[in-house]
Amino acid sequence: MNRQRNALLNQIPVTIITGFLGSGKTTLLSKLLRHPKMGQTAVIVNEFGEIGLDHELIESSDETDVTLMGGCLCCTVKSDLIDTMQRLYERRSSGDVPSFDRLVIETTGLADPAPVLQAIMADRILEQVYRLDGVVTLIDAVNGMKTLENHLEALKQAAVADRLVLTKTDVASSEDVDTLTKKLEQLNPTASVLEAAYGDVSPERLLDVGIFDPRRKSTDVERWINEEAFAHHHGEHGHDHHHHHEVNRHDDHISAFCIRHEEPIPSAAAGFFLDVLMAERGSDLLRIKGILNIAEVPSKPMVIHGVQHVIHTPAYLDAWPSDDHDSRLVFIVKDMTKESIENLLRVLLENRPYHEISDALPKKPSGNIETL
């Protein structure tokens, strides 16, 4: 096994479970923790009272930690997330808490998941021992459409997800479930949409969704990018342009698309491209991930993963996953178009004058709605 895969294998995978108020995170997490495959899982929550873990799951507790049946561990965020994750790993290493091989972070219903993602991706100490596996977002099938339309937090939770889980499907009408599913597939084409009545969904469908596939002890870039999903959702904005809702709906400002570039990209140009996007429009880059053909090392593709102003330390794979060596980047953004980002990359690669680069920057629209 190569060094890159060894490093990934030794890091503890982190899954973020998020969802708006009343989406069913408590029920789903309690069910997951009962599953045999979750027996060595640590859970971080803001407050025990918010997660409402069933009493029969709790074996013992103190001020900061709750030991769960089956070897799981639950702890609170006492200061900030980075400190909590570091402390938890140190206590694992010293044997003060049960060993765990997976970490689940449950956010509050009103939380923006981006800072959690950024904390894991940007902290150089954390990234040595943890790796982001994926984001699981729960959405109430009964009230999901109204929630997405009325709450920016819920919309952002759905936009950054790797898995979208519809809850309360047992009481929602089939029409509501179908409408919500189509909306989510348009909003975030790369995320799989699952149903979970009573919080019942197997860990296999929610976990190990990142670039690293522990079952094969390898990287799985094609699945992670999921470029094929965009073939079913043509159109610049990644959503249905024929609806008759008000034009200032929040989701009318969200775009999902994939860009390709056939020729190898110089490393300096790739870095400048990402730096400029983050500097100028970082708050609107909800998520970016992909694979780049870097001119200096064409045999080893570079993996890119970013959230808003933070790009995870780029990693080089040992080989291309297929005969397709095009650079591919998946974007989920606010108030930017596919054409504007492609044009910026083209201008940078052509070494155009500074004023032309400035003119090519994706501009914020006038009269912009409340920032996500």
In terms of domains, do 155 and 259 share one?
A: no
Q: Residue 198: what are its φ and ψ, rounded to 5°?
A: 60, 25
87 in any annotated domain = yes
Structural domains counted in the chain: 2
* Residue percentage of the chain with pLDDT more than 70: 79
Q: Are residues 264 and 306 in the same domain?
A: yes
Q: How far is residue 111 from each of residues 7, 65, 108, 151, 302, measured CA to CA in Å?
A: 31, 22, 5, 11, 31
What residues make up the domain containing 25?
Answer: 3-219
Domain end, chosen from 219, 239, 263, is at: 219
Does one domain contain both 72 and 197?
yes
Q: Looking at the structure, do residues 169 and 32 belong to the same domain, yes or no?
A: yes
The first and second tokens of residue 78, run together, are: 């006492």
**Looking at the structure, do residues 267 and 322 belong to the same domain, yes or no?**
yes
- Which single residue is written with the structure tokens 């992670």? 224
Asked if residue 230 belongs to a domain, the reply is no
pLDDT value at residue 222? 84
What's the rounded Cα separation, in Å, for the pair 116 and 81? 8
Please check the confidence at residue 357 and state whether its pLDDT lies above 70: yes
| Mean pLDDT to the nearest integer, 319-346 | 93
The band of 176, judged by pLDDT with boundaries at 50, 70 and 90, is very high
Same domain? 149 vs 189 = yes
Same domain? 206 vs 293: no
Q: Does residue 372 lie within any of the structural domains? A: no
- The pLDDT score that the predictor gives to residue 8 is 58
User: Which of these ranges, 3-17, 161-175, 279-293, 319-333, has the smallest mean pLDDT?
Assistant: 3-17
- pLDDT (0 to 100) of residue 238: 42
Higher-confidence position of 323 and 110:
323
When the pLDDT of each residue in the chain is averaged and rounded to a whole number, the result is 81
pLDDT of residue 80: 74
Structure tokens at 35: 């599953």
Would 370 be classed as within a structural domain? no
Does a structural domain hold residue 194?
yes
Residues 17 and 140 in one domain: yes
Q: How many of the other CB atoms lie within 10 Å of CB of 365?
A: 11
Token pair 């029969």 is at which residue? Answer: 56
Q: 248-267, pLDDT tens digit by residue?
A: 455 678 889 999 999 999 99
Together in a domain, 269 and 337: yes
